[in-house]
Each structure stands twice: as C-alpha cells, then as structure tokens.
Amino acid sequence: MDEQPNLSYIHQLSGGDKAFEARLMEVVKRELPEESQTWRDNISSGNLDDAASSVHKLKHKISILGLEESYRFAETYEDELREGFNIRQEEFEKLLQLMLSFVKRT
C-alpha cells in the first residue's frame, strides 16, 4: 500500500470548522496509540478474536485518516483474524506505525 495518511476526510467532515478538526485530531491522537497497543497485546497473547475486535475499532481511525485502500485491507485482516488466521500481522503493524507517525506530526 502506497497511500499516505491525510486530513482530507477530516476537512470534508468539518466543513471548514477548525475547532472541530482540532478536537477530532485530539481524539485520534489519544485513542490511536491505546487501540494499537491493545491490538498488539491481543496478538501477543494469541487472542485472535479480541485482536479482530481491535482491528474493527482501528478501522475508524484508518478511515478518518483518509486511508481508503488500507481500510479495505483492514476489513480483510479483521475477517482473517476472526477465522483464526494471522497472515497480515506485519503489514498491519506497518500501517499502524505509518498512522502513529502521522498523528505525532500533525
């Protein structure tokens, strides 16, 4: 996946309301690290069903950060986890790192 996180969806949602954009980004900045760690903890403990639930929550952040292709990837990964497979872990971790880096800079 070559796409990069962006603020286009947030701008679209806000209709130019900068205060709304700032509040939404604060929520993302607070929740993304927590939800990412929960996913990692679930993966480490082998609890793939809870890991799938974590991916489900993280999909909202993926969408907010304008990552349409990554959202579809996360949907597939969530389904795989629910079926007991963890094939895309490394790629999902890269996505999380990309998102975390972006929100730290924003």
Domain that holds residue 20: 8-105
> Do 54 and 39 meet the contact criterion of CB atoms below 8 Å apart?
yes
How confident is the model over 74-83, as a mean pLDDT? 98
Look at residue 88 and tell me whether its pLDDT is greater than 90: yes
Q: How far apart are alpha carbons 23 and 88 in whole angstroms?
A: 32
Look at residue 49 and tell me whether its pLDDT is greater than 90: yes
Reported pTM:
0.95
> Do 59 and 75 meet the contact criterion of CB atoms below 8 Å apart?
yes
Q: How confident is the model at residue 56 (pLDDT cuts 50, 70, 90)?
A: very high
* 1 in any annotated domain: no
Mean model confidence pLDDT for the chain:
97
How confident is the model over 47-63, as a mean pLDDT? 98
* 3 in any annotated domain: no
Report pLDDT for 94.
Answer: 98
Q: Which residues fall within 8 angstroms of residue 37, CB to CB, at 6 or more apart? A: none
Q: In total, how many domains does the chain have?
A: 1
How confident is the model over 38-44, as a mean pLDDT? 98
Report pLDDT for 2.
Answer: 85
